[in-house]
Amino acid sequence: MKLKKNKGYVGIDITVSVIILLIVVPTIAGMIYNISRSNNQIKRTTQAANIITNVMENAKVITFANESTYLEAVYENIYDIYNGSGNIVEPEVKNSGTETTTTWTDNGTTYNDVKTRTMTIKIDDVLYKLQIGIQDNHDVDTEIPENTKKIIRTAVIYKIGGEQKTINLNTYLVLI
């Protein structure tokens, strides 16, 4: 004699299945979202690091005549690199990125009298604001004449998930 019939699903079977789906599906979706978000953060940070590396590589090979022409030459080289691949946001950025003397903040420290140029670069639909600055450096060896010691300051500002991120890189330039 059979006590049980197998003619379909019982209410408890369906309830257990739905509960399992309600637990597993959001967990997997959350994991996929977090992996995607981390991947985007890595891509954007890597791109910002590439931009700042290009600036520093160009800054090291340009001959220094004076601050304005040096800053202009570095700016022009970077402009040509990124404009050649169609990544400069505004075509008139060359003219709008005129040199200004500003206050520069780097990791909470403020520096005055930094001659700065700025451009916006768009790569893969992400905007990167590049700032290139030059400043007198009074902390290097006192044997070297004052007007030959400079600091090249660079910053790339970009957004990840609504949060603004900044990468700063500075290098010293001693003209002998």
Q: What is the pLDDT of residue 92?
A: 42
pLDDT per residue over 25-76, tens digit each?
Answer: 999 999 999 999 999 999 999 999 999 998 888 888 877 767 667 888 888 8
Q: What is the pLDDT of residue 59?
A: 83
Q: What is the pLDDT of residue 95?
A: 45
pLDDT at residue 24 above 90?
Answer: yes
DSSP helix/strand/coil, 4: coil
- Count the neighbouring beta carbons within 10 Å of the beta carbon of residue 172: 11
pLDDT at residue 20 above 90?
Answer: yes
In the chain, the percentage of residues whose pLDDT exceeds 90 is 24
User: Domains of the chain: which residue ranges?
Assistant: 11-174
- Which of the residue ranges 5-14, 46-55, 89-98 has the most confident prediction, judged by mean pLDDT? 46-55
H helix runs in the chain, sequence order? 11-61, 67-84, 93-96
Phi, psi values for residue 65, rounded to 5°: -105, -55
The residues facing 130 across adjacent strands are 119, 156
pTM of the model: 0.73
Answer whether 74's CB lies under 8 Å from 61's CB. no
- pLDDT band at 138, cuts 50/70/90? low
pLDDT at residue 174 above 80?
Answer: no
Answer whether 152's CB lies under 8 Å from 171's CB. yes
Phi, psi values for residue 140, rounded to 5°: -85, 165
Closest Cα partner for 156 from 122, 125, 124? 122
In the chain, the percentage of residues whose pLDDT exceeds 70 is 77
Answer whether 119's CB lies under 8 Å from 79's CB. yes
H helix runs in 85-176, sequence order? 93-96
